[in-house]
A and B are shown apart, each in its own frame.
Chain A
Amino acid sequence: MTEAWIAVAIVGAATIALKGAGTVVLGGRALPERFDGVVVLLAPSLLAGLVVVQTLQGDDGIALDARVAGLAAAAVALLLRAPLLVVLAAAAGVAAAARALGAA
């Protein structure tokens, strides 16, 4: 029971500090110009990393499961210029169908 509260306190404090560090250090100013380029590119690089990790991360390294089919469906929907809601529904629907058919 106390273990849980220690985890809540330490993880919570660390996360709040990580999220707030940029704000404290930069203090509302714009970034120096030479970092400008990096910050604009943070979004594409982190989003690409999130796509890979959220699709393939398993309990122990890489896992190929129904999420891959869901992401493929989302990619097709994006190629067809479908609205975001349709893209998300395609991903969930195809992943659910793949699992119903026996995929992990």
Chain B
Amino acid sequence: MADGPAAALDRREVAAGARAVLPIALAATVFGVSYGILAREAGMGIAAPIVMSFTTFAGSAQFASASVLEQGGALAAAIVAAVLLNLRYLAIGISVAPSLRGSLARRLAEAQLAVDESWAVAQERGQVVRGRVVGAGLMLMVGWCAGTAIGVIGGGALGDPAVYGLDAMFPALFLALLVGLVSSARAKRAALIGALVALALLPVAPPGVPVIAAVAGALIAARRPS
């Protein structure tokens, strides 16, 4: 199936998405550097971490698998940890799917750009704005992959991004976007239940499970009339 006119991207939305995610993309770049350093220490070589940043393109999962390998853990444990952390992309993929246009190959390619931060900044009235996901996702991908390359090739000079508080920027972004989304009573209930479920599971469940379990908030809130 050829891409018809409907497949064309709104350039203004692409630019808006890239702009909206810029500060977070800078933080992601710095984290990419520290991921590259960790992956190198874990014996992953130079090419594998860079390829992984393009294909997996998910910070927490990549950090988790590299840490397991670095600590001498089993390969299977590293893979399971990373896949668990990425289970939430099933839900994010479902939420993005109705907004995508064009051939299946094109939609699948654009779906890969929907990561936490690009998906979050593309929200508008309960829907995902396609151009914004693409613009923000590309911006994040450039930063994350460039950072990874710098890290593996030898950029230990930056030090720990936590010293600059960059790790606190991610929950702050998600909170800021959440505030804009909880206008209805149902959305408030979904957020509250999601937060409580994640909090309850955090001490007991393996990493990755608390976030995907937060989807229970959407399922429960959708059942009750508001």
Q: Identify the A interface with B (CB < 8 A).
A: 1, 3-8, 10-12, 14-16, 18-31, 37-57, 61-62, 66-67, 69-71, 73-75, 78, 84-85, 87-99
Q: Is the CB of B174 within 8 A of A62?
A: no
Provide the residues of chain A in CB contact with B203, threshold 8 Å.
Answer: 61-62
Q: Is the CB of B218 within 8 A of A22?
A: no
Q: Is the CB of A67 within 8 A of B194?
A: no
Nearest chain A CB to B171 CB, angstrom units:
4
A69 to B172: give the CA distance in the assembly, Å.
11
Count how many chain B residues have C-beta atoms less than 8 Å from C-beta atoms of the other chain.
Answer: 100
- 8 Å CB contact of B162 from A4, A30, A43, A99: A99
**Seed contacts A3-B69, A11-B79; 11 additional CB < 8 Å A-B pairs:** A15-B55, A22-B97, A27-B104, A28-B97, A48-B195, A50-B170, A51-B174, A62-B202, A71-B175, A90-B172, A96-B164
With A11-B56, A14-B83, A94-B165 as known contacts, state yes or no: A48 contacts B97, CB within 8 Å: no
Provide the residues of chain A in CB contact with B214, threshold 8 Å.
Answer: 45-46, 48-50, 52
Q: Tell me how many residue pairs across A and B have CB atoms closer than 8 Å.
A: 305
Q: Is the CB of B56 within 8 A of A41?
A: no
Provide the residues of chain B in CB contact with A19, threshold 8 Å.
Answer: 89, 92-93, 111-112, 114
A-B contact pairs, 7 of them (CB 8 A): A23-B96, A48-B198, A50-B171, A52-B195, A71-B175, A78-B179, A92-B166
Q: Identify the B interface with A (CB < 8 A).
A: 20, 23-24, 27, 39, 42-45, 48-49, 51-52, 55-58, 61-62, 65, 69, 75, 78-79, 82-83, 86-98, 100-101, 104, 107-108, 111-112, 114, 116, 120, 123, 126-127, 162-179, 181-182, 186-188, 190-195, 197-199, 202-204, 207, 210-219, 221-222
Q: Is the CB of A43 within 8 A of B123?
A: yes
Provide the residues of chain A in CB contact with B24, threshold 8 Å.
Answer: 88
Nearest chain A CB to B33 CB, angstrom units:
16
Nearest chain B CB to A95 CB, angstrom units:
3
With A75-B175, A78-B176 as known contacts, state yes or no: A21 contacts B93, CB within 8 Å: yes
In the A-B complex, the 9 residue pairs with the smallest Cβ-Cβ separation, listed nearest first, are: A49-B214, A70-B168, A95-B165, A45-B217, A45-B194, A91-B172, A96-B165, A95-B168, A12-B55
Q: Is the CB of A84 within 8 A of B93?
A: no
With A11-B52, A44-B187 as known contacts, state yes or no: A39 contacts B100, CB within 8 Å: no
